[in-house]
Amino acid sequence: MEIPKFATLFAVTAFAEIIGCYLPWLVIKQGKPAWLWIPALGFLMLFAWLLTLHPTAAGRTYAAYGGMYISVALVWLYYVEKIKLTSWDVAGAALALTGMAVIMLQPRV
């Protein structure tokens, strides 16, 4: 699978997980309507299904996915929660994405 394809798939997977977890957070922490649990469940099911589309072993996929999840969570922090990123946030995301690339781009034997 080429780099843009697997990176996009990882990013979409991360957004599905974040939305699926953020909606219950809104219900529990901010008193939003309980019906938000319904789309949350749908997004978490989408997240689980998207993980099955990745081309490598489950454990390797989960390990590499973590790097993208960190980066997407920081994008969420900036655009949805309106919190300015620090240079530490950006450096951490860069390190996480580097780790993801090392795992996903390793030679297949």
* Structural domain spans, the chain: 3-104
pLDDT at residue 25 in the model: 97
Note the pTM of the prediction, 2 decimals: 0.85
- Tell whether the model's pLDDT for residue 1 goes beyond 70: no
Condensed to tens digits (0 to 9), the pLDDT of residues 27-66 reads 999 999 999 999 999 999 999 999 899 878 888 888 888 9
pLDDT at residue 82 in the model: 97
Question: What are 13's two structure tokens?
Answer: 């997977």
